[in-house]
């Protein structure tokens, strides 16, 4: 058999073998190399720029993006046309080679970039110079827009505007959530109805979530009383479109029975019953991590301990997106108007479907 015949005979099998050996298409920012200078060179050879995802193991926004954004096939295909993507755990101790060829600890590298929080994204040109750095949790559309923003060098005219920060509907009196918070927190706890619950279970209604504990002397009862009054101030047709949740940060003392009795005392007239939420210690720790809460025990002669904890109300729309944090002490009329805005948006969404 001639050489040409051999090539023709084995070529299909060779191609099949090569295809079998090639790795499956990776999710965005899945690879974690230690030599970023080599990655810059590889990106340049591909006609792309290098995009680095800076993360921490316990970063809620990072975990949300890895779960809901980086594995989006359409986004991966589009993003990969312009960028070679890698991830960097800035908590790891082993040194890396930075894009300029310097050996450095990952944490120090992040400090040089002024990436003081995670998730952060850093983009580099073919010489390893930093093009742009952004910190904040993004959804699929947000990361797509960030990629377009960097690829078009729009940062030379203005900084990237976070999709949540520039939203116009609904306009809330509540504070915008921190950019590092997940847009759709994902934690599991047990409700005072005896069933396990995630925030996703409440899709279709707006959610007002308060956290605390039943022995709280002031903040928690005040917050729940204000939520009760704010819901009752809504038109009767909107009250059922708001679900108030109260999650305990003190599962050691707050049993489901105690939590139910406490929540029931603040049920708004004409509204949904307030649902108490309680997790085991691990679930409570996950709740605290997801929402970046404060929950510090302080000694108390009369109570054993009290909790210094995050105050305020987390506001979610009917799609489960975190839109704002109504601060403790927010005037009642503003809290009620925020709930009305969310309820109105919920009714409009239901009408469209």
What does the pLDDT look like over 79-111, one tens digit per residue? Answer: 999 999 999 999 999 999 999 999 999 999 999
User: For residue range 150-167, what is the model confidence (pLDDT) as tens digits?
Assistant: 999 999 999 998 765 554
Q: pLDDT tier at 313 (50, 70, 90 boundaries)?
A: very high
User: For residue range 2-34, what is the model confidence (pLDDT) as tens digits?
Assistant: 444 443 444 444 433 333 333 344 689 999 999
CATH 3.40.30.10 domain range(s) in the chain:
21-156, 188-352
- What was the pLDDT predicted at 347? 57
Q: pLDDT tier at 332 (50, 70, 90 boundaries)?
A: very high
- What was the pLDDT predicted at 172? 93
pLDDT reading at 199 higher than 80 = yes
pTM here is 0.82
- What was the pLDDT predicted at 13? 44
User: For residue range 109-150, what is the model confidence (pLDDT) as tens digits?
Assistant: 999 999 979 999 999 999 999 999 999 999 999 999 999 999
Domain 188-352 class? alpha beta
Tokens of residue 230, six digits: 């704010």
Q: What angle do CA 312, 315, 202 make, to 5 degrees?
A: 125
Q: What angle do CA 230, 235, 241 make, to 5 degrees?
A: 75
Average confidence (pLDDT) over 58-70: 94
- What was the pLDDT predicted at 344? 85
User: For residue range 225-271, what is the model confidence (pLDDT) as tens digits?
Assistant: 999 999 999 999 999 999 999 999 999 999 999 999 999 999 999 99
Q: pLDDT tier at 346 (50, 70, 90 boundaries)?
A: low
Average confidence (pLDDT) over 281-300: 96
Give the architecture-level CATH label for domain 21-156: 3-Layer(aba) Sandwich (3.40)
- What was the pLDDT predicted at 169? 52
- What was the pLDDT predicted at 171? 83
CA distance 98 to 36: 5
Q: pLDDT tier at 352 (50, 70, 90 boundaries)?
A: low
* Non-local CB neighbours of 254 within 8 Å, separated by 6+ positions: 213, 214, 248, 262, 278
Which residues sit opposite 120 in a β-bridge? Answer: 54, 135
């Amino acid at each position: 058999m001639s050489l040409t015949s051999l090539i023709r005979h084995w070529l299909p099998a060779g191609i099949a073998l090569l295809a079998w050996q090639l790795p499956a298409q990776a999710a965005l920012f899945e690879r974690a190399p230690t030599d970023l200078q080599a990655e810059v060179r590889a990106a340049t050879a591909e006609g792309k720029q290098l995009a680095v995802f800076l993360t921490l193991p316990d970063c809620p926004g990072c975990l949300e993006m890895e779960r809901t954004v980086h594995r989006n096939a359409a986004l991966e295909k589009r993003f990969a046309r312009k960028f070679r993507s890698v991830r960097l755990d800035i908590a790891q101790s082993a040194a890396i080679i930075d894009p300029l060829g310097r050996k450095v600890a990952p944490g120090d590298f992040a400090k040089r970039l002024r990436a003081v929080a995670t998730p952060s994204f850093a983009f580099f040109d073919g010489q390893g110079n930093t093009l742009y750095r952004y910190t904040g949790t993004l959804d699929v559309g947000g990361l797509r827009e960030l990629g377009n923003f960097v690829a078009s060098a729009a940062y030379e005219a203005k900084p990237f505007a976070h999709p949540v920060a520039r939203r116009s509907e609904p306009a809330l009196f509540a504070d915008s959530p921190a950019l590092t918070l997940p847009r759709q927190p994902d934690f599991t706890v047990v409700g005072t109805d005896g069933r396990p619950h995630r925030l996703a279970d409440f899709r279709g209604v707006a959610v007002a979530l308060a956290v605390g504990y039943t022995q709280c002397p002031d903040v928690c009862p005040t917050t729940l009383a204000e939520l009760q009054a704010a819901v009752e101030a809504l038109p009767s047709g909107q009250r059922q479109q708001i679900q108030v949740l109260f999650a305990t940060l003190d599962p050691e003392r707050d049993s489901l029975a105690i939590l139910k009795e406490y929540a029931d005392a603040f049920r708004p007239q004409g509204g949904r019953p307030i649902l108490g939420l309680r997790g085991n210690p691990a679930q409570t720790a996950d709740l605290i991590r997801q929402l970046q809460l404060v929950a510090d025990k302080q000694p108390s002669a009369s109570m054993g301990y009290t909790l210094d904890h995050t105050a305020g109300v987390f506001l979610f729309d009917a799609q489960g997106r975190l839109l704002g944090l109504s601060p403790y002490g927010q005037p009642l009329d503003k809290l009620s108007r925020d709930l009305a805005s969310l309820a109105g948006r919920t009714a409009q969404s239901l009408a469209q479907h």
